Structure 1
């Protein structure tokens, strides 16, 4: 069976299933108004069972929306095939000065099964009618607003392009002014230390935001379907320009805060320490704002995913869930910096003498463990939910268990170092170094073999890579070297701090931005690997699972499908003259 025919057959069954579920829901709301209710619910027990299995309105809307998207994609695929045959035949006739290509096109292509658009067009119309009747209260314009799919070449609205360009330009100018001000002003060492302590977290967050914007832009250019991978609503997906707009806005806001802090005397600001607090408050308010403005869908999606990550053991784990948790493991230093920021203001408002001390405490150790714990719990949950019970999930969990061990040994080593005259006299120092080496080696192998799917080919032009590549070949070799080196950057930090070349705080800055760079390239290959997996599974839309039908309902559904096909055949064969 050809792909188009197979797709239409599967779509026909899905449409019948959705129609049946919508009828069941209406029957539940009005038992006397539906033939399905009278035929299938013969007892109070059966009605209770149907109510228990009934999919929610929200899930039905989502299922109808994704099904409509799949129909449009199938229609586009059908059109693409027709266009390809037409152009091939046209080129044939042009080069050979004949009409044989056009004749063959009319005789075989136009009469082939995949060229028949009647059934697909009817399913699209039926889906629109069902959504209008059952889910939009008869309002067709409202239904089409929910169903309409933007074209693949849909351009970004000019207002977002203008805003992104405006804020990006302001950010670049502000960043240059911040650098000049920091190095040209005669700041006291105490003020410089406080400045770095208060602003490193926001700066690293902005840097990470720009990296994500570049990631998304590259995905769009090379065809990596990140919208499907993250299971985002295609009609309201953020896109590269929206991501750049957000990153540029917060970047510009950070540069304003930095300039106000460094030049507070020129702006007659008596206490500059409140400036980072204002910036933090604005970010939080804009992010959790419940009003449907300012990329509302993207914000709610991210808040939902973050909530699922925080409750990792209790929810089924989707790709977006463990991807966000993986990003957090690279933002540990930034997360700790924001904890320092909150702790600073608590102490500052309490007028404590240790307000300006940014030394780690036991809460820092717990915070450092949290991202690794979330991924550890997710791996165990995925093992529990998987039918195959693959040990890969347990092996992945071990990687994050080692990360937690790193934090524990580092904390013990830091708390007991005063008991020894030399750093390397402490057994906890050697325990920390050992577990870091094991964890780094383990992580490198997992990145290259599992996350990137590399080292599948051992000869030929794709040596050490795999058969299917989306990016230029050189990028993979670069990422192999870059990812391996940055996994061991902690050794450089350890040596530089031990030799007093870097202060411990600056050493953490090196770790922070190195890990952001590593994650930036990791995101390219990880999503490419997931995209290739989806292509191998012929998956182009989200899988929305509604209630499974029992055998009696399956038989009823089959009869409905047969009846629909008979009516369509009668309509097609009916002679009017």
Structure 2
């Protein structure tokens, strides 16, 4: 793999604008290369054409053994430098400025431009790196104070042996330590006192060089850390942060209660604080790893591009330039490495019980490895699915079921039951396609959704679940077709009609299975998000929550199928294979509720975000879902009751909702259709190189948004049954949602890139009275 592709594959997607633009610098080497090759060809062309081969007979004999050490030094050697690199200050920040000394050479103007842009790239990288190092240093200070509070809190809760945990003992031990410090200060030389100041910091001891043997000697002779008690007085300035993420906390906020509470020294609070701080350290360590990788990759990129320059221009400037890079803050600062070591020491000691292997396995989780058995199992299930579909078609054809009198009853009873699995499988396939293209275009979907590192599902795993469900559903359909009516009683056997219900029960059992099988973390994540949607707006709204709620708005027909399950099996219609649900007022009333409830959840989520974020866009987004609720309810009323009045109402409400939703999809969710963009009618930054894809996606979204017209106009294709048309329209909506998913997450990813947001914010357990910004 060429370095350019390897470099692009390893960079942090959200920081890609801050990396050295390797391809851009390669483009500035092309004029130099073109000029050199053109000049060389022009100089050697005429003489070589006139030279006869016989001239070689009169050349000097060079010998059979090559002479070593007689080659002249290449032009631009260290003794004859071609560049001078100076340190300058630009906009209050240190930078570099390269002076090209061979401007008078033929084509030197191209090399001058190259070094100008190279300096700009280096200064950009150095400035960004220094800013990020300052950020992590500030964050390290915050985590340091959090650890002090946690240790004191741990002492108050656990009450270790020999520690009475009284204020008198705290004061006495503190005074003893203060007295010992005064005595040491008076009797110890200045150099030793400075050394002892370093010894006090336990984490710093593991990073001292081997040359500081005198400090190690003082550590062994005078160790005052054992006499220093935990700083319990710090608890007088600390309160516990309350995160407004539960219904209880939400009600307290509505009652204008404080966002902090006094310390309650209980085991639960200690465990909660330890878990929060543990996650904060893991995220902080991950940030340090990426920052270290950022420095390494950029230095390597500068070395590679300078090597290319030396080869093309026949210079020897890379040594001088890379010496400047190595001496700069980007190449010489070891702050990040030291912080990583200190984080490791602290985490292993306080969160892994001094077990290094356990602590490092948490800090450095192994990357997810694609397993061959997943691919094999998926391929096997694909074959089974194709075989079952073929068998189903042959059985229908052989028995002439389409012309059978019972087909109408089957379409009214069994088809709505099995269509539920078709909707689920189609949505899985669309999600798997989304994952594939997100990975291809480097959309960091795992970070955006907040998946735990190494637990996110790939498209192969999602397809595996989808084909597994399709095999079970098709096998159940074939079993139903194979079981005939009882020839004596002319009644359907109950066991035959219970197959779809059993399959639904199996899916529910798998989703709720507490065992660590079948990707438990992903199942639990999905259930938590679903629970937050159901209880909206009592929970703080995150992106996975409203993203899942948007998926549910495209699964209204699947929810209606679940409603039909309750009616069909709850009222005993399955024993006679009848459909009397539409004759019930309760069922028809719930048809309105089921159709509107996903949009209602999204409306409540928008209201919650409007109250918390004070963002007017959330209010407009809520109006969009309110208009959709009116449109869905009016179409449902027209389907049940008919009449010109309901038809006009459904047309009007659906048209308004379609216009509103289409505009929001394209402009707000996708960020497209921007008039002032450098890409006409698109946005400035695009991940897909082919712009026509975006225009096609906008057109397809508009067309699929009009699928509701089938409900109002009763459109039929090839005399298909009404249930088939309903399922077809629902499938088109699922496809539209899958298309929406890709561009919605692409826009979110680009927003994160624009703000360099590569890490999620982790709530901290404690808050200091004198630090309002923590």
TM-score band, normalised by shorter chain? 0.7 to 0.9
Separation of aligned partners in 1, 2:399 and 2:278:
59
Separation of aligned partners in 1, 2:469 and 2:582:
24
Q: Find the partner of 2:529 among 297, 302, 305.
A: 305
Q: 1:554, CA displacement in angstroms?
A: 8.3
Q: Find the partner of 2:276 among 59, 62, 70.
A: 59
Any conservation in 2 of the 1:206–1:250 contact (CA below 8 Å)? yes
Match of 2:78 in 1: none
C-alpha offsets along residues 426-485 of structure 1, whole Å, 9 cap, x if unaligned?
A: x1221111101111111111111101111114576x221111011231211111111111
Separation of aligned partners in 2, 1:163 and 1:500:
37
Larger RCO: 1 or 2 (CA < 8 Å, sep 6+): 2
Structure 2 counterparts to residues 277-296 of structure 1, below 5 A: 277-296=501-520
Match of 1:361 in 2: 588
Match of 1:332 in 2: 556
Q: Find the partner of 1:127 among 343, 349, 368.
A: 343
CA 1:142/1:117 → structure 2, altered by over 3 Å: closer, same or farther?
A: farther
Other structure's SS at 2:537 match? helix
CA 1:218/1:404 → structure 2, altered by over 3 Å: closer, same or farther?
A: same
C-alpha offsets along residues 368-394 of structure 1, whole Å, 9 cap, x if unaligned?
A: 1110000000000000010xx222111
Q: 1:50, CA displacement in angstroms?
A: 4.4
Match of 2:381 in 1: 167
Separation of aligned partners in 2, 1:198 and 1:184:
24
Separation of aligned partners in 1, 2:592 and 2:138:
54
CA 1:175/1:540 → structure 2, altered by over 3 Å: closer, same or farther?
A: farther
Any conservation in 2 of the 1:90–1:102 contact (CA below 8 Å)? no
CA 1:117/1:167 → structure 2, altered by over 3 Å: closer, same or farther?
A: farther
CA 1:198/1:38 → structure 2, altered by over 3 Å: closer, same or farther?
A: closer
Any conservation in 1 of the 2:412–2:723 contact (CA below 8 Å)? no
Structure 2 counterparts to residues 132-147 of structure 1, below 5 A: 132-147=348-363
Match of 1:11 in 2: 136
CA 1:19/1:255 → structure 2, altered by over 3 Å: closer, same or farther?
A: farther
Match of 1:253 in 2: 472
Does residue 481 of the first structure (1) align with residue 699 of the second (2)?
Answer: yes
Larger helix proportion of the pair: 1
Separation of aligned partners in 2, 1:519 and 1:313:
23
Match of 1:562 in 2: none
Separation of aligned partners in 1, 2:527 and 2:239:
39
Separation of aligned partners in 2, 1:21 and 1:480:
49
Match of 1:571 in 2: none
Does residue 49 of the first structure (1) align with residue 262 of the second (2)?
Answer: yes
Any conservation in 2 of the 1:254–1:279 contact (CA below 8 Å)? yes
Q: 1:411, CA displacement in angstroms?
A: 4.1
Does residue 177 of the first structure (1) align with residue 391 of the second (2)?
Answer: yes
Structure 2 counterparts to residues 96-495 of structure 1, below 5 A: 96-105=313-322, 107-116=323-332, 118-150=334-366, 155-187=369-401, 188-189=406-407, 190-264=409-483, 271-348=495-572, 357=581, 361-386=588-613, 389-417=614-642, 423-424=643-644, 427-457=645-675, 462-471=679-688, 472-495=690-713
Q: Find the partner of 1:20 among 138, 145, 166.
A: 145
Aligned pairs, how many?
542
C-alpha offsets along residues 334-366 of structure 1, whole Å, 9 cap, x if unaligned?
A: 111122123212223895885565675211211
Separation of aligned partners in 2, 1:141 and 1:149:
11
Separation of aligned partners in 1, 2:373 and 2:608:
43
Farther-moved stretch of structure 1 (338-347 vs 369-378): 338-347
Separation of aligned partners in 2, 1:453 and 1:459:
11
Q: 1:136, CA displacement in angstroms?
A: 1.9
Any conservation in 2 of the 1:455–1:466 contact (CA below 8 Å)? yes
Any conservation in 2 of the 1:15–1:127 contact (CA below 8 Å)? no
Q: Find the partner of 2:308 among 82, 86, 91.
A: 91
Separation of aligned partners in 2, 1:217 and 1:43:
50
Q: 1:216, CA displacement in angstroms?
A: 0.6
Any conservation in 2 of the 1:493–1:507 contact (CA below 8 Å)? no
Match of 2:738 in 1: 520
Separation of aligned partners in 2, 1:499 and 1:241:
35
C-alpha offsets along residues 242-265 of structure 1, whole Å, 9 cap, x if unaligned?
A: 222222221222222222222235
Separation of aligned partners in 1, 2:691 and 2:239:
62
Other structure's SS at 2:680 match? coil
Does residue 75 of the first structure (1) align with residue 287 of the second (2)?
Answer: no
Separation of aligned partners in 2, 1:367 and 1:554:
46
The alignment's TM-score, normalised by the length of structure 2, stands at 0.65
Structure 2 unaligned runs (5+)? 1-92, 94-126, 157-162, 166-227, 241-259, 486-491
Separation of aligned partners in 2, 1:470 and 1:140:
41
Separation of aligned partners in 1, 2:421 and 2:305:
56
Q: 1:149, CA displacement in angstroms?
A: 4.3
Farther-moved stretch of structure 1 (179-188 vs 505-514): 179-188
Q: 1:168, CA displacement in angstroms?
A: 2.8
Match of 1:510 in 2: 728
Separation of aligned partners in 2, 1:11 and 1:447:
37
Q: 1:62, CA displacement in angstroms?
A: 2.0
Any conservation in 2 of the 1:28–1:37 contact (CA below 8 Å)? no
Any conservation in 2 of the 1:497–1:504 contact (CA below 8 Å)? no
Q: 1:217, CA displacement in angstroms?
A: 0.9
Separation of aligned partners in 1, 2:335 and 2:661:
51
Structure 1 unaligned runs (5+)? 418-422, 558-577
Look at both structures and tell me which one has the larger radius of gyration over its CA atoms: 2
Any conservation in 2 of the 1:19–1:130 contact (CA below 8 Å)? no
C-alpha offsets along residues 110-156 of structure 1, whole Å, 9 cap, x if unaligned?
A: 111112362212222222222222222222222222221456xx641
Q: 1:314, CA displacement in angstroms?
A: 0.7
The alignment's TM-score, normalised by the length of structure 1, stands at 0.86
CA 1:239/1:62 → structure 2, altered by over 3 Å: closer, same or farther?
A: farther
